[in-house]
Structure 1
Amino acid sequence: MDPHDHHDPARPAHPTQLAPGALVLVGLSGGADSLALAAATAFEAPRSGYRAGAVIVDHALQSGSDAVAKRAAEQAAGLGLDPVLVERVQVDVHGGPEAAARAARHAAFDRALAQTGAERILLAHTLDDQAETVLLGLARGSGPSSLQGMLPDTGRLLRPFLGLRREQTRAFCTDSRLDPWEDPHNDDLSYTRVRARSVVLPILERELGPGVAEALARTAGQLREDAEALDGLALEWAQELVSQTEDGAVALDVRGLAADPAALRQRIIRLVVSAEFGVSLTRTHTLAVAALITDWHGQGPVDLPGVRVVRQNGLLTFHPTT
């Protein structure tokens, strides 16, 4: 089937700013979403001047996973994708199986990029996946950064299907005579995301009316736009407030930070720590540092992972501890 004859996954938002002949890899599980993306990418790549391969990650979390990975690799090769890599990983489930599997998968993606020289990994997350991510973030009381959901483009990862519904990728596979793998974990209600998908979202759609998933995805997009604007302001203002002490420590002007709105002040703190020390602060850490500005009563330094923050002489100074 010509993917252009089918609405939706037919022409994914293919990678832009690629040199002619550049390689991208489709992250393929064999499920309907990623199989539809693999087929659409195999069709689109030669018409857009880039090459397309696939990387299959075998998490080894269930019996027969090696056979599933082998079948997905055969499907990728049958679609004309080349190269096709199979990465078998070990997942440390003690920290939670979903998060551990994600970490192992992304490490495998990094290895695949390095091994093949590919520029991008294409992932088949859909609008439904985005809605689930936002819903779970709301349930956990996450901040705006989590409620932005998954980014369409991170530079390394591209998610061209975020505007599509899961039912559309399934219809594409049916129309294209593609036989997707049905992951039994997708029916396992012990997983929080599966409960959000199979139980919570259908209840919301039934009780509140259709369009809940689309509304959640729109919320993610709006928050992302707002965050980009605030991050830009934080960067500009941080450059005005930052200085270096005589001993080489990075410092921020307390008076200037105190005059800022809380959202901007906290962004500046996170930005400086990330840029100077490569540390991503939790909200708890950020608020502890902010208290040195807004709730100052002579308290001692705040110790962060790899960083100590001290208020002295009208400055917040950031010192490495490792």
Structure 2
Amino acid sequence: MTGARPMPEGPHLLTVRRAVRAWFGEHCPERAVVVGLSGGADSLALTAACVAEGAQVHAVVVDHGLQAGSAEVARRAAEQARDLGCSRAEVRTVSVTGAGGPEAAARRARYAALDAVRGDRPILLGHTLDDQAETVLLGLARGSGSRSLRGMAAWDPPRGRPLLTVRRESTVGACAELGLAAWDDPHNLDPSFVRVRLRGEVLPLLEDVLHGGVAGALARTADQLREDGAVLDALAADIAVSARVGDALEVSALVAVPGALRRRVIREWLADRGVPLRNEAQVRAVDDLVGAWRGQGGVAVAGGGPVERLVVERRRGKLDLVRWTGRAASE
């Protein structure tokens, strides 16, 4: 371990440190963590603040290999972590493959690499209030209800995000106060990514038109919806227990349940059976088998074509998930 470098008490670093201190106090008093370090300002400021707050920090730099020179960027970030006083810093090289596009595949590979080294320690990520605001706006554009507007949680085991109350200007400022040269990811300037346009065009325009405070308001909205959602999810879980009959749901136990709760029950029931529904139209179509029943056929929720697919059917007073092979659904 390299000795920790002296850290000036500049206002930006103090802002970041206060957020990290509060997160440790609420979620991790033992202060032994893995930090996902990209070399960018957010994760560098997070790493520095964790060390300054007396944490035992294992910094992990994930090299996705998607850009020329990525190995050097990763090596340099690990060196910065050692200079800051991390107990350990390492580079993990991953292969980015799989469905969902390069962003989703890179995220899966990154989280898998972090999970592989964490043991029983939490993984800290450098998402800021600005990231939260962007996430809420993306959720709003998807139009899939309050669940998509909850944003990111400060603690979603095993991942923690201590900087969700901190603006990006503070992480950049903290790095400047520490004399740290943060890496600027070229992808963060590529307008082909929706988040880049939200960050560079949409949010600044909203802040201008609405006279400021938009990012903070979006983040507060996410917090409120997450709290409300937790209560509704707990109520839905209780209803699901009374409605479950084996792998099916008893329709009579759901008819009088308000639609918002009933749809939560349906989502969780299908997720438990390996069919997570993110399409609100599908959820409502399945819900209609209970709340707007008129003898309609089943609702396809997964499958690869007309020959075989998974379908939710209402049969003999129950909702069940069946494998459909072209026959008509029946009650």
In structure 2, C-alpha distance between the alignment counterparts of 1:93 and 1:269, rounded to whole Å:
28
What's 2:16 paired with?
9
SS of 2:257's partner is coil
What's 1:35 paired with?
44
TM alignment of 1:126-165, pairs within 5 A? 126-165=128-167
Q: What's the % identity of the aligned pairs?
A: 50
Note if 1:62 corresponds to 2:67: yes
Distance 1:296 1:105, change over 3 A: same
What's 2:288 paired with?
291
Contact 2:27 2:155 (8 Å CA) reproduced? no
Distance 1:223 1:18, change over 3 A: closer
What's 2:84 paired with?
79
What's 1:123 paired with?
125
In structure 2, C-alpha distance between the alignment counterparts of 1:64 and 1:278, rounded to whole Å:
40
Which amino acid in 1 is paired with 2:84? L
Task: State the TM-score, normalizing by the size of structure 1.
Answer: 0.87
TM alignment of 1:180-191, pairs within 5 A? 180-191=182-193
What's 1:25 paired with?
34
The worse-fitting range, judged by mean Cα deviation, of 259-268 and 80-89 is 80-89
TM alignment of 1:185-224, pairs within 5 A? 185-224=187-226
The alignment covers a number of residue pairs equal to: 307
State the 1:3 CA deviation: 6.6
What's 2:96 paired with?
91
In structure 2, C-alpha distance between the alignment counterparts of 1:208 and 1:25, rounded to whole Å:
39
What's 1:112 paired with?
117
Distance 1:110 1:213, change over 3 A: same
Aligned mate of 2:235, from 233, 236, 260: 233
SS of 1:185's partner is helix
Contact 2:34 2:58 (8 Å CA) reproduced? yes
What's 1:247 paired with?
none
What's 2:248 paired with?
251
Which amino acid in 2 is paired with 1:102? R
State the 1:94 CA deviation: 7.3
Note if 1:309 corresponds to 2:316: no
State the 1:168 CA deviation: 0.7
Which amino acid in 2 is paired with 1:31? G
Contact 1:23 1:118 (8 Å CA) reproduced? no
Q: Deviations over 1:77-102 (max 9, x none)?
A: 11222332312222248743322322
Structure 2 regions of 5+ residues with no counterpart?
Answer: 1-5, 304-309, 325-331
SS of 1:316's partner is strand
Structure 1 regions of 5+ residues with no counterpart?
Answer: 245-249
Contact 2:249 2:319 (8 Å CA) reproduced? yes
State the 1:184 CA deviation: 1.8
Distance 1:2 1:79, change over 3 A: closer
SS of 1:8's partner is helix
Which amino acid in 2 is paired with 1:55? V
SS of 1:240's partner is helix
Task: State the TM-score, normalizing by the size of structure 2.
Answer: 0.85
SS of 1:309's partner is strand
Distance 1:17 1:77, change over 3 A: same
The Cα RMSD (Å) is: 2.4
SS of 1:9's partner is helix
Contact 2:259 2:291 (8 Å CA) reproduced? no
In structure 1, C-alpha distance between the alignment counterparts of 2:184 and 2:111, rounded to whole Å:
22
SS of 2:137's partner is helix
In structure 2, C-alpha distance between the alignment counterparts of 1:15 and 1:216, rounded to whole Å:
25
Q: Deviations over 1:257-305 (max 9, x none)?
A: 1211111000011122233x24322234322321211232333444434
State the 1:201 CA deviation: 0.8
State the 1:318 CA deviation: 4.0
